[in-house]
């Protein structure tokens, strides 16, 4: 079910991706005096490519709320740093033990496990420094730190990763358990992209709630698509190995309910997401297109 993204989204995505990719190394380089190997290892994973979905969503959400992408750029870079850290750690031998990411050997394969752990630590902490330092309105900066910490910490992504590992080869599982894992390991961080953009643009409470509903639905759909791509995707396009989840005994949507039911669950979530932001009208169009991309993506 291949549906190319709309030309308009393609163009906006590319422009925003280039803005994020121009800024990311500047934030890393801003500290003149830190170990060269650490810098290399951080930049190796951060600048390896990747879709930049989360930072682009931050910028699109800010614009959909009437804000400027420039004001949202620190938050966009921060979430990409947190996401990249999560990938570096996710790939470690103690976790998913992967050797290919974003089309390159994984961080620990190149720099060793200790440096990969530390580069991840450094990306995570730098993210919060970037928000605190570069978002001009300090009360907005504090709200953004709270959103991102909540989404990525022991209530969010880290909790989801713990549950993901605990569910490996665990036998009997329910769809509720699986949904809980996916919402936390992937959904919450993706959702925070939307609320970060909204907060920077000073969106009102109802709009933030609508963005959060959209983000939670798209976030879960995104991980269902990731599970499907592990079974059906092309490693060349994905830049990572496929057929890994079954070998690792991961609890995934296709393994629990089958590919067809997984796809229709994702379709339902994308409808729910689009419905949540229908009140935004024309301004929400790029987010609607983005939701469709998540459903049809092949990378």
Rule CB under 5 A: which residues touch Mg ion? 90, 96, 226
Indicate whether 87 belongs to the interface with ligand IPE (CB under 6 A): yes
Report the 10 Å Cβ neighbour count for 18.
11
Q: How far apart are CA 100 and CA 49, in angstroms?
A: 13
Nearest to Mg ion of 11, 113 (CB atom): 113
Q: Give me the least distance between CB of 101 and ligand IPE, in Å please.
A: 7
Binding segment for ligand IPE (CB under 6 A), chosen from 14-22, 94-102, 168-176, 195-203, is 94-102
Residues 37-56, one symbol each (x = binds ligand IPE by CB under 6 A, - = not), give: -------------xx-x---
Sole binder of ligand IPE in the list 157, 178, 194, 290 (CB under 6 A): 157
Nearest to ligand IPE of 5, 209 (CB atom): 5
Residue nearest to Mg ion (CB): 96
Q: Classify residue 151 by burial, with Cβ atoms within 10 Å: 0-12, 13-18, 19+.
A: buried
Q: How far apart are CA 199 and CA 211, in angstroms?
A: 10
Q: How far apart are CA 91 and CA 275, in angstroms?
A: 35
The residues, ordered by sequence, that sit 6+ positions from 99 with a Cβ below 8 Å of its Cβ are: 91, 105, 106, 109, 241
Nearest to Mg ion of 53, 61 (CB atom): 53
Q: How far apart are CA 107 and CA 174, in angstroms?
A: 34
Sole binder of ligand IPE in the list 71, 96, 143, 147 (CB under 6 A): 96
**CA-wise closest residue to 266 among 289, 245, 244, 297:** 297
Separation in Å, CA 17 to CA 55, 76, 142, 225, 285: 8, 10, 25, 21, 18
Total residues contacting ligand IPE by CB under 6 A comes to: 17
Nearest to ligand IPE of 99, 204 (CB atom): 99
Indicate whether 200 belongs to the interface with ligand IPE (CB under 6 A): no
Residue 289 binds which entry of ligand IPE, Mg ion, none, CB below 5-8 Å type-dependent: none
Indicate whether 19 belongs to the interface with ligand IPE (CB under 6 A): no
Q: Classify residue 264 by burial, with Cβ atoms within 10 Å: 0-12, 13-18, 19+.
A: exposed
Report the 10 Å Cβ neighbour count for 32.
5
Binding segment for ligand IPE (CB under 6 A), chosen from 26-34, 96-104, 109-117, 208-216, is 96-104
Q: Within the chain, what is the greatest distance between any pair of CA atoms?
A: 52
* Contacts to ligand IPE by CB under 6 A: 50-51, 53, 83, 86-87, 90, 96, 98, 102, 157, 161, 185-186, 223, 226, 240
């Amino acid at each position: 079910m291949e549906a190319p993204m709309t030309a308009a989204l393609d163009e906006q995505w590319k422009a925003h991706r280039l803005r994020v990719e121009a800024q990311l190394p500047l934030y890393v380089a801003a500290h003149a005096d830190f170990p060269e190997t650490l810098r290399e290892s951080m930049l190796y994973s951060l600048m390896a490519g990747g879709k930049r979905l989360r930072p682009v969503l931050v910028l699109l959400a800010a614009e959909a709320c009437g804000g400027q992408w420039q004001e949202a750029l620190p938050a966009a870079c921060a979430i990409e740093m947190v996401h990249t850290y999560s990938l570096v750690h996710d790939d470690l031998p103690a976790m998913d033990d992967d050797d290919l990411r974003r089309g390159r050997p994984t961080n620990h394969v190149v720099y060793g496990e200790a440096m990969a752990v530390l580069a991840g630590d450094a990306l995570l902490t730098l993210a919060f420094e970037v928000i605190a330092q570069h978002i001009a309105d300090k009360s907005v900066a504090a709200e953004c730190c709270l959103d991102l910490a909540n989404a990525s910490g022991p209530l969010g992504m880290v909790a989801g990763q713990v549950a993901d590992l605990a569910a490996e080869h665990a036998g009997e599982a329910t769809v509720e358990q699986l949904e809980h894992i996916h919402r936390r390991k992937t959904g919450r961080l993706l959702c925070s992209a939307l609320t970060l953009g909204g907060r920077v643009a000073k969106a009102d409470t109802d709009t933030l709630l609508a963005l959060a509903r959209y983000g939670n639905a798209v976030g879960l759909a995104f991980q269902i698509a990731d599970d499907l791509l592990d079974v059906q995707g092309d490693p060349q396009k994905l830049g990572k190995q496929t057929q890994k989840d079954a070998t690792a005994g991961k609890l995934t949507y296709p393994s629990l309910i089958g590919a067809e039911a997984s796809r229709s669950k994702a379709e339902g979530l994308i409808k729910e997401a689009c419905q949540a932001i229908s009140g935004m009208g024309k301004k929400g169009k790029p987010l609607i297109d983005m939701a469709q991309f998540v459903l049809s993506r092949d990378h």
